[in-house]
Amino acid sequence: MKSLLLIIVPLAAAALALLWPQNRTRPVILPVAATLHALLSWWLLLDPPTVAAGAWLGFDPLARAVLPVVSVLFLVCAWYGVTYLKLRGERPNRVFVAALLAVLGLLSAGHQARHLGLLWIFTEAVTLAAVPLLHFNGTPRAFEATWKYLLVGGTGIALSLIGSLCLGYASLYGGGGGDLTFVALISQGAGLSRPWVLIAWVLLLVGYGTKMGLAPMHTWKPEAYGEAPGIVGAILAGGVTSVAFTAILRVRAVVGAAGEGPVADHTLLAIGLFSMLVAALFLLGTRDFKRMLAYSSVEHMGILSIGAALGGAGVAAALFHVWSNGLTKGALFLSAGNIRRAAGSASMDEVRGMSALTPRSAAIFVTGMFAVTACPPFGPFFSELKVVRAALEGGHGVATAMFLGCLLLAFFGLTRVVFAIVDGRPRSATKQGGKRFVETAGVILPPLVLLGMSLWLGLFTPRVLQEVWSAAVAQLYPKP
């Protein structure tokens, strides 16, 4: 019941936001619903319910390993959102607030979906619900970004539906009775028709990979993250991508049960390394610090994919990385949003000296940048270390070398952009006419809290989380 409330509470709050008459007070619904959601999800984390084997929806170990961090990230973003929407008081926020809450509810449903078709429906619904968020700014560039997001995302979602149908046919051909829950598909195992499973795997990997933002299907990401408000970027990068990742993990378990696990792992490794390489190269070229964050997100999706390719230890490391990357990226997106507002531009050609104009946001941005490029002692360092260890234990020497090389290139790319906007003397032209951006607690504390949590995750990874991640691995790789 509590696991259903995780879905119902945000959706009900979204409906309330649609009906709420006042533009000024409406954003308060965000933190209220998010607090309830976070309390519920952490309660379920500490006291996991038993999920019936054939249930279509349930707070199973995999949902338990990912959903709480999405919930926390959303909670912090919700607090930031109240201040942000006050700053943007001139724009109507009815649809924006409702869409944010709907995304949270549908994400909770997607993470808990234990049925192939249901999983697809919720992922598709999240994609559609995120559309109003992207063109909140209402500029032509934001519309352009939304169009690309719809076209690329829509194609990806179509491919994953074809993949789901192929997996359904694999089950039907193997004599399955039409039960498309993942448990049933896994128990059918070698009875699934191999050619259909392979076709399904390719289509589902490309389809959900598009949602995740793996190269070469990442093209919507820089546009969307570059033009959407920082709070939306944080939720897309930390929350929406994670539901696509768990979808891939769930499908990977079915493919593994059908006896094609090695093929799946090879493709995951290849697409992961390719994503890291593409992201690293684009990071060396980009001049826009919000697009930079998008490419950094592509890189980290590559890391997740590599982790997923490395078997049990790798998947545990990847789940750890979902947490550390989500929180750190959140801090980066929110502080970048502050800098963007204060500077009036996101290009390093026009922005500099932000350490003088917005000292606190700039400090968080620089620290977050070091955290996300895996400097100790932040979370990403430890999760990436675990991925590397899993790769070396699996005998993937060349892949490890490429992995580390891409990390180094990405580090160069990120430092290049970040220091260009932070250092130097502020442009005199910057924001002379407009209202000066004041760094109130409402816009500084949320990214600071996220950064602090990333540090906490790195220094003192709680035992309960490690148990949760191993439980999820045990669900995906059942002992025979």
Partner 1 sequence: MNSNLNLLIGLAMGLNLLALGSSRLPTLIRAMSAQGVILGAMPVLMDHEPDWRVALVALATIAGKGLVIPGLLRRAMRTVQIDRELEPLIGFVPSMLLGAGGAIAALALTHLLPLLPEHAGSLLVPGALATMLTGFILLIGRTKAISQVCGYLILENGIYLFGLLLIKAMPLMVEAGVLLDVTVGVFIIGIIVDRIQRAFDSLDTRKLTALRE
Q: Are 413 and 292 in contact (CB under 8 A)?
A: yes
Give how far the C-alpha of residue 450 lies from the chain's centroid of Cα atoms, to the nearest Å: 15
Kindly determine how many residues on this chain lie close enough to bind partner 1 according to the rule CB under 8 A: 43
Q: x/- string (CB under 8 A) for partner 1, residues 279-298?
A: ---x--xx------------
When asked if residue 270 is in the footprint of partner 1 (CB under 8 A), the reply is no
Q: Which listed residue (89, 141, 466, 467) binds partner 1 by CB under 8 A?
A: 141
Q: Which residue stretch of 22-30, 173-181, 297-305, 449-457 sits at the interface with partner 1 (rule: CB under 8 A)?
A: 173-181
When asked if residue 258 is in the footprint of partner 1 (CB under 8 A), the reply is no
Q: Following DSSP, what letter does each residue of 353-370 receive, concatenated?
A: -HHHHSHHHHHHHHHHHH
Q: Which residue stretch of 81-89, 98-106, 183-191, 192-200 sits at the interface with partner 1 (rule: CB under 8 A)?
A: 192-200
When asked if residue 398 is in the footprint of partner 1 (CB under 8 A), the reply is no
Nearer to partner 1, 161 or 308 (CB): 161
Nearer to partner 1, 5 or 128 (CB): 128
Q: Are 218 and 149 in contact (CB under 8 A)?
A: no
CA dist., res. 375 & res. 116, Å (int)? 38
When asked if residue 187 is in the footprint of partner 1 (CB under 8 A), the reply is no
Give 38's Cβ-side CA count (13 Å radius).
17
When asked if residue 120 is in the footprint of partner 1 (CB under 8 A), the reply is yes
Residue reference for tokens 């750890």: 320
Q: Which listed residue (176, 239, 314, 458) binds partner 1 by CB under 8 A?
A: 176
Least distance from partner 1 to the Cβ atom of residue 285, Å: 6
Sign of CA dihedral 232, 285, 301, 44: negative
When asked if residue 135 is in the footprint of partner 1 (CB under 8 A), the reply is yes
When asked if residue 377 is in the footprint of partner 1 (CB under 8 A), the reply is no
CA dist., res. 253 & res. 248, Å (int)? 9
Q: Following DSSP, what letter does each residue of 244-280 receive, concatenated?
A: HHHHHHHHHHHHIIIIIHHHHHHHHHHHHHHHHHHHH
- Using the 8-state DSSP alphabet, how is residue 180 labeled? -
When asked if residue 177 is in the footprint of partner 1 (CB under 8 A), the reply is yes
Q: Which listed residue (58, 61, 68, 226) binds partner 1 by CB under 8 A?
A: 226
Q: Roughly what angle, to the nearest 10 degrees, separates helices 261-285 and 397-422?
A: 30
Radius of gyration of the chain, Cα coordinates, nearest whole angstrom:
21
Q: Which residue stretch of 33-41, 147-155, 353-361, 380-388 sits at the interface with partner 1 (rule: CB under 8 A)?
A: 147-155
Least distance from partner 1 to the Cβ atom of residue 72, Å: 29
In single-letter form, the type of residue at position 83 comes to T
CA dist., res. 208 & res. 226, Å (int)? 21
Least distance from partner 1 to the Cβ atom of residue 219, Å: 10
Contacts of 464 (CB under 8 A, 6+ apart): 45, 46
Q: Which listed residue (42, 173, 456, 477) binds partner 1 by CB under 8 A?
A: 173
When asked if residue 420 is in the footprint of partner 1 (CB under 8 A), the reply is no
Sign of CA dihedral 190, 195, 196, 202: positive
When asked if residue 15 is in the footprint of partner 1 (CB under 8 A), the reply is no
Least distance from partner 1 to the Cβ atom of residue 15, Å: 16
CA dist., res. 164 & res. 251, Å (int)? 9
Q: Which listed residue (14, 65, 145, 391) binds partner 1 by CB under 8 A?
A: 145
Least distance from partner 1 to the Cβ atom of residue 327, Å: 28
Q: Which residue stretch of 164-172, 252-260, 317-325, 341-349 sits at the interface with partner 1 (rule: CB under 8 A)?
A: 164-172
When asked if residue 144 is in the footprint of partner 1 (CB under 8 A), the reply is yes
Nearer to partner 1, 16 or 128 (CB): 128
Q: Which listed residue (80, 196, 201, 323) binds partner 1 by CB under 8 A?
A: 196
Least distance from partner 1 to the Cβ atom of residue 172, Å: 5
Beta bridge partners of 181: 115
When asked if residue 275 is in the footprint of partner 1 (CB under 8 A), the reply is no
CA dist., res. 409 & res. 432, Å (int)? 36
Other Cβ atoms closer than 10 A to 450: 30
When asked if residue 143 is in the footprint of partner 1 (CB under 8 A), the reply is yes
Q: Which residue stretch of 166-174, 239-247, 266-274, 360-368 sits at the interface with partner 1 (rule: CB under 8 A)?
A: 166-174
CA dist., res. 319 & res. 323, Å (int)? 7
CA dist., res. 441 & res. 435, Å (int)? 18
When asked if residue 326 is in the footprint of partner 1 (CB under 8 A), the reply is no
When asked if residue 172 is in the footprint of partner 1 (CB under 8 A), the reply is yes
CA dist., res. 57 & res. 109, Å (int)? 8
Nearer to partner 1, 154 or 442 (CB): 154
When asked if residue 148 is in the footprint of partner 1 (CB under 8 A), the reply is yes
- Using the 8-state DSSP alphabet, how is residue 436 labeled? P
169, burial (CB in 10 Å: exposed 0-12, middle 13-18, buried 19+)? middle
Which residues of this chain interact with partner 1, rule CB under 8 A? 117-118, 120-121, 124-125, 128, 131, 135, 140-141, 143-148, 150-151, 154-155, 158, 161-162, 165, 168-169, 172-173, 176-178, 180, 193, 195-196, 222-223, 226-227, 282, 285-286
